[in-house]
Chain A
Amino acid sequence: MIAYPARRIAIAIVTLVLASIVVFTMLEIVPGDPARIMLGMNASAEQVAQLRHQMGLDAPLLLRYLHWTGGLLKLDFGQSYTYSVPVIDLVAERMAVSLPLALIALALSTIIAIPVGLYSASRRGGTGDTIAMGTAQLGVAVPNFWFALLLIYLFAVWLHWVPAGGFPGWDAGIGLALKSLALPALALALPQAAILARVARSALIEVLSEDYIRTARAKGIPRRAVLWRHALRNAMIPVLTIMGLQFAFLLAGTIIIENVFYLPGLGRLVFQAINQRDLIVVKSVVMLLVAIVIVVNLLVDLSYALVDPRLRGRP
């Protein structure tokens, strides 16, 4: 029974290698010379050539690929062209923003979504359900950067409750740091909450129609107790799956929100790096994000197999 996990891990490794080739190739054909960008409009051709050599940009293609991937394996992500510091340091700095932001947003979205889903499922078809699900539909439909702008003008400019953007750093105090993450987390959480509430509702409805729930009801266990004790627990599987996906998305897909709030997160690091042709940063961070997704998927699949032995037989 070792076969399935081993196979699954092998597949993940192949996917990682393919992804690294895709990322590397993409960035090879990006137009724009990083050396020229660093030196600006007045630099001469010799100066540019000299810098290219210093940065190792004139080595053969395959050699550079091997050098890069070899470094990745040793957790050596290379040196940022623009900042001239190790990429791993930049990533660590940005993770200190992106990771808490993603976690807070996920927590917020869960806090909003689960009660709403529960409420809607228990009152399926009622006015409350219709209003809740209508709002959820709206939450999915509103572009989050637009919502973010509204939040900024309401809470920062008008009410002065929280800063309009920026991040003071964790050493400025947890309170200040959390304050500046409040609006971006909310802007990120709302659409996710809307999706999660819908998933939670339909999962609950599904579970509630199962036979054992009917049996439980028939035995005279109160409706509320059934909902909490049995239904919710069983509906958690699809909900947790969605939450896992959302976490991966929140970690990487926050570029626009990070821009609106000028937060120094991972997404903005990559966005900036693409624009400044700091290709080593782009390559390494994109690869890191891809690797996170692949590993998370792998773990999810392996844990499913653990839970459900039937799955062990097929990929």
Chain B
Amino acid sequence: MTLHASLLGDRSASLLRRALSNRSFVIGLVIAVAVAAVALISYVWTPYDVTRLVIADRTRPPSLAHWFGTDHFGRDILSMIMVGARNSIAVALVAVGIGMGIGVPLGCLAAARGGMLDEAVMRLNDLVFAFPALLSAIMITAVFGPGALNAIIAIGIFNIPVFARVARAGALSIWPREFILAARTAGKGKILITIEHILPNIATLLLVQGSIQFALGILAEAGLSYVGLGAQPPMPSWGRMLFDAQTRMTVAPWMAMFPGMAIAITVLGFNLLGDGLADILDPRSRRRQ
């Protein structure tokens, strides 16, 4: 019997109950689903075309025609926020994907093999951690040029050691368990055990970390595109919208207000989701509640 089986088995109903009674989780989930929905809708419909500039309509305050007002080029801010959500989510998601895709195997491998390999992986982690993240991201985009893709790479690189560390720590705590021992005596190889037993058991840990890194990724993307190194026009991005807004704080405050709120709410949502997940899935906090 493995532990993950219990998550899917007869206790799933009680898990669901616990999830629905966890305030952080519910609020986080609602926000996350809403943001994702907005991003998806933007593929098929936005109130206005975000690539069309209507200079004559520039910096119009919020109205019935433009709920969130227009920007300095006369673009509809609501539409830009919708399309910007797409950009933010894509960048954060892929960056988390890079971090997980490379970090988790590294961490698991380090835990499984130990010795020199473990040492090497951990030292590599230290190396990446030693670099100031934003500064290095700026250096990376200086080398490869600004753009959404390079922002993803820059953020993704700094996700790798995070996941490697979480995966390693999680795996190390599972390895001494009895059921692993049983599997080993049954003659299973370390890689197979990792895939069959370790990974499912650290999945929840990774899910929690993933949700937190996702929120951090949204913030990092906003920061990078605020300094002009993220997605390039005509693709709207929340950070760039704030950059454009800041020279018009007194004459067009709505330009700063809505994208700022979009970032804050999205990050808040995914952080709450992560917190809630941790609460629900962590047996220790279960005891505490």
Contacts and interface: CB of A to CB of B under 8 A. Distances in A.
Q: Is A in direct contact with B (CB under 8 Å) within the complex?
A: yes
A142 B264 contact: yes
A28 B152 CA distance: 22
A253 B143 contact: no
A141 B130 contact: no
A30 interface: yes
A293 B135 contact: no
Contacts of A29: 143
B138 interface: yes
B143 to A, nearest CB: 5
Interface string A20-59: 0010001101110000000000000000000000000000
B129 interface: yes
B232 to A, nearest CB: 17
Given A11-B123, A31-B143, 20 more contacts: A11-B126, A14-B123, A15-B126, A18-B123, A29-B143, A141-B267, A141-B268, A141-B271, A142-B263, A142-B267, A143-B222, A149-B249, A209-B288, A252-B132, A253-B133, A286-B135, A290-B131, A293-B132, A294-B130, A297-B129
B258 to A, nearest CB: 11
Interface stretch (A83-91, A222-230, A266-274): A266-274
Given A137-B271, A146-B242, A153 B139 contact: no
Interface string B202-235: 0000000000000100010011001100000000
A248 B127 CA distance: 15
Contacts of B143: 26, 29-31
Interface in A170-191: none
A145 B142 contact: no
Interface of A: 11, 14-15, 18-19, 22, 26-27, 29-31, 137-138, 140-143, 145-146, 149, 153, 157, 205, 209, 248-249, 252-253, 255-256, 259, 267, 270-271, 274-275, 282, 286, 289-290, 293-294, 297, 315
A274 B142 contact: yes
Contact of A141 (B134, B139, B215): B215
Given A149-B246, A286-B139, A315 B132 contact: no
A293 to B, nearest CB: 5
A305 B287 CA distance: 32
Given A253-B134, A256-B226, A205 B250 contact: no
B264 A141 contact: yes
A270 B119 CA distance: 32
B271 A140 contact: yes
Contact of B127 (A22, A138, A256, A286): A22
22 contacts: A11-B123, A11-B126, A15-B126, A15-B130, A26-B143, A137-B275, A141-B219, A141-B264, A141-B265, A141-B268, A141-B271, A142-B267, A143-B222, A143-B263, A145-B226, A146-B260, A274-B139, A275-B142, A286-B135, A286-B136, A293-B131, A315-B119
Contacts of A267: 135
B256 interface: yes
Give me the 10 closest cross-chain CB pairs, A-B, nearest first: A252-B132, A141-B267, A141-B268, A146-B260, A293-B130, A141-B264, A142-B264, A290-B130, A274-B142, A294-B130
A249 to B, nearest CB: 7
Contact of B142 (A30, A252, A290): A30
A27 B130 CA distance: 17
A293 B123 CA distance: 14
B198 interface: no
B37 to A, nearest CB: 19
Given A19-B127, A153-B249, A26 B139 contact: yes
A15 B132 contact: no
Contact of B139 (A248, A252, A282): A282
Nearest to A205: B288
Given A30-B143, A141-B271, A149-B256, A293 B129 contact: yes
B122 interface: yes
Contacts of A259: 227
B242 A145 contact: yes
Contact of A271 (B138, B264, B266): B138
Contacts of A297: 126, 129-130
